[in-house]
A and B are shown apart, each in its own frame.
Chain A
């Protein structure tokens, strides 16, 4: 048994897992405040990463200009999406809402592939990347950077929900829309804000992953991988999404390890999370931290 490889893979899993956690947090943010399941979460990453790439490469803007521009674009994009497409869907049955986001995902995936082509494109070097030796493990500095950024985002979220006015309004809306409204919170603005924040933070994650691995349509698959994460953590739990992200990130790497060592089934890296998903749904459908639905007649 190759012990070093296992540890290396687990570390990789934690790094990837924090990114999953960030994306899952964005997903949970939308679900908690607007009760919409966003199947287009992966496209947020994709659009953010491509926008930043286009500003850097096509318009040759420096990173410190193009990055804020990307984030500003995503704010507008998120709000527009909510106002134009999702506001008419309030009160519709759940399948309609799911299908609208699936339709959006399909539309934007094709649009982005049309504009930017189907091939992976590398980001220009923004930061120096080199291998760093930490406790005998070779870790690329880009990964460390991505992990630091993810941690900053998570801490930022914590303070945002704990202390900021908008964050408190969002929590109130998530708790009960009617009560929030009667306290003078504009539910409309909260909905728009949660989509905007979700789009911005996802785009940030997209740019980070793009810098490490290059941008391609494969980025949007993270939007699908988010489902095992949020189901494991509980659909409406921010803490759960971080824990779920870490567990799924480690799980897929460990599954890959066991597969390459003994099982030789292949493709375990991509499929293991879905097996885990089905098992969790059978045993504990509300996840580790999710609130249980109790139905009364």
Chain B
């Protein structure tokens, strides 16, 4: 009875600060995380390339979405220019690898660092302005960077786009979906562990303090300007790494792919997943990547020979994303992560939920 009791606790009772600060709140959560990564290791052997492609998409978008969650969810700053950073990372990695010949293995984090530098510059207005004004400033930076992509031929290849070499390690090319999946999985695990750890550090707590009440945070000695700009930098680092993975996966980076629409999708991922939740970013990404696929499936189910409907598919997908954002904000503003917590709590307390 005693052992059963220790397994089925009716809550998380932490008695030390160490216990409160662990990455995984419970042993079960740790085992689930490790188990799901191990399960994913077997995925290339089992899944077909369509599903693998979706998983890879979830991987690189998920890294960028986590970056956005750091700036929006944890620091409370609004950024409408995340797609531009994502694109900058893709171009930077392709450019570094193409001009200097540094192996792709190193250019991906280097591209992240370059994007971080850009993010720190773009984040400078965040030191002075906040909320709505910041949203508009980042909107402007989105358009300015987009314009830069179309113009800077030495860097992006201009309107023609840039070629990105495949990922290589020790002379072995990760060219297929099956092999590239492991690269993406590696980065996802590293970046998500990094993100979860960031929130346990002094800087991470400072971010949350800035979000919760910036005046109180400042009075407690937190340098507001420093942390606001820093959170932009870290978020751009994530976007840059995600973008670099995206670029080397497709092998070709075009300036047209990083529009405001993608920025909106990133914010959609963060909101649907849950602001201020590391795993929420992943849940939101899964939702956002799968939603267009589900729409496509639905349209084919209704009538695959209905040409008017299949031609409108692109619009239907876009409408579905817009509608999903609106509906989530009205009915579930705390996102999927909150819903997941509620389900967990329900089972933890079952059948005596009060």
Residues of A within 8 A of B (CB): 37, 85, 88-89, 92, 94-96, 98-100, 102-111, 113-114, 224, 227-228, 231, 235, 265-267, 270-271, 274-275, 277-278, 281-282, 285, 295, 297
Contact B143 A278 (CB under 8 A): no
Choose from A100, A224, A271, A282 the contact partner of B147 (Cβ within 8 Å): A271
Given that A95-B78, A110-B318, A265-B151 are contacting pairs, would A278 and B133 also be in contact in the complex, using a CB cutoff of 8 Å?
no
A-B contact count (CB 8 A): 122
B210-224: contact bitstring with A at CB < 8 Å (1 yes, 0 no)?
A: 000001000100000
Contact B132 A111 (CB under 8 A): no
- Interface residues of A, dominant DSSP: helix
B349 an interface residue at 8 Å Cβ cutoff?
Answer: no
Choose from A92, A96, A110, A295 the contact partner of B322 (Cβ within 8 Å): A110
Contact B329 A96 (CB under 8 A): yes
Residues from chain A with Cβ under 8 Å of B329 in the complex: 89, 92, 96, 99-100, 103
Q: How far is the CB of A91 from chain B (nearest CB, A)?
A: 11
The 5 closest A-B pairs by CB, nearest first: A107-B322, A106-B322, A103-B325, A110-B318, A114-B315
State the CA gap A37–B318 with chains docked (Å).
Answer: 22
Contact B322 A285 (CB under 8 A): no
Contact A267 B129 (CB under 8 A): no
The stretch from B39-47, B112-120, B134-142, B336-344 touching chain A is B134-142
* CB<8 Å pairs between A and B, sample of 11: A96-B271, A100-B330, A107-B323, A110-B316, A113-B315, A277-B136, A277-B140, A278-B137, A281-B128, A282-B124, A285-B129
Contact B136 A89 (CB under 8 A): no
- Interface residues of B, dominant DSSP: helix
Choose from A88, A102, A114 the contact partner of B264 (Cβ within 8 Å): A102
Q: How far is the CB of B235 from chain A (nearest CB, A)?
A: 14
Contact A227 B326 (CB under 8 A): no
State the CA gap A267–B147 with chains docked (Å).
Answer: 8
State the CA gap A281–B151 with chains docked (Å).
Answer: 25
Count of chain B residues with a beta carbon within 8 Å of a chain A beta carbon: 44
State the CA gap A228–B139 with chains docked (Å).
Answer: 10
Residues from chain A with Cβ under 8 Å of B260 in the complex: 224
CB-CB contacts below 8 Å: B297-341 with A: 312, 315-316, 318-319, 321-326, 329-330, 333
Contact B132 A102 (CB under 8 A): no
B33 an interface residue at 8 Å Cβ cutoff?
Answer: no
B150 an interface residue at 8 Å Cβ cutoff?
Answer: yes
Closest to B124 in A: A282
Closest to A107 in B: B322
State the CA gap A110–B310 with chains docked (Å).
Answer: 15
Residues from chain B with Cβ under 8 Å of A282 in the complex: 124-125, 128
Closest to A283 in B: B128
Residues from chain A with Cβ under 8 Å of B125 in the complex: 278, 281-282
Contact A278 B141 (CB under 8 A): yes
Contact B261 A106 (CB under 8 A): yes
Closest to B148 in A: A271
**New A-B pairs, 20, CB < 8 Å, besides A104-B322, A106-B321, A107-B326:** A37-B132, A92-B329, A94-B78, A95-B275, A99-B329, A102-B267, A106-B322, A109-B318, A110-B319, A113-B315, A114-B312, A114-B315, A224-B260, A227-B136, A227-B139, A228-B140, A266-B151, A267-B150, A271-B143, A281-B129
Given that A37-B132, A106-B318, A295-B215 are contacting pairs, would A89 and B137 also be in contact in the complex, using a CB cutoff of 8 Å?
no
Closest to A112 in B: B315
Closest to A113 in B: B315
Q: How far is the CB of A154 from chain B (nearest CB, A)?
A: 24
Closest to A276 in B: B140
Given that A95-B78, A99-B267, A275-B144 are contacting pairs, would A114 and B131 also be in contact in the complex, using a CB cutoff of 8 Å?
no
**Which of B141, B143, B268 has the largest number of chain A CB atoms within 10 A?**
B143
Residues from chain A with Cβ under 8 Å of B268 in the complex: 99, 103
Closest to B141 in A: A278
Residues from chain A with Cβ under 8 Å of B150 in the complex: 267
Q: How far is the CB of A288 from chain B (nearest CB, A)?
A: 15
Q: How far is the CB of B197 from chain A (nearest CB, A)?
A: 25
Contact A114 B135 (CB under 8 A): no
Q: How far is the CB of B335 from chain A (nearest CB, A)?
A: 11
Residues from chain A with Cβ under 8 Å of B147 in the complex: 267, 270-271
Choose from B132, B315, B323 the contact partner of A103 (Cβ within 8 Å): B323
B90 an interface residue at 8 Å Cβ cutoff?
Answer: no
B255-270: contact bitstring with A at CB < 8 Å (1 yes, 0 no)?
A: 0000011001001100
Contact B330 A89 (CB under 8 A): yes
Contact A96 B333 (CB under 8 A): yes
Q: How far is the CB of A107 from chain B (nearest CB, A)?
A: 3
Residues from chain B with Cβ under 8 Å of A228 in the complex: 140
State the CA gap A230–B350 with chains docked (Å).
Answer: 54
State the CA gap A278–B260 with chains docked (Å).
Answer: 17
Closest to B215 in A: A297
Choose from A265, A274, A281 the contact partner of B133 (Cβ within 8 Å): A281
B65 an interface residue at 8 Å Cβ cutoff?
Answer: no
State the CA gap A107–B322 with chains docked (Å).
Answer: 5
Q: How far is the CB of A84 from chain B (nearest CB, A)?
A: 9
Q: How far is the CB of B39 from chain A (nearest CB, A)?
A: 33
Given that A103-B326, A104-B326, A106-B321 are contacting pairs, would A94 and B136 also be in contact in the complex, using a CB cutoff of 8 Å?
no
Residues from chain A with Cβ under 8 Å of B139 in the complex: 224, 227
Contact B144 A271 (CB under 8 A): yes
State the CA gap A267–B146 with chains docked (Å).
Answer: 11
Contact B140 A274 (CB under 8 A): yes
State the CA gap A74–B190 with chains docked (Å).
Answer: 51
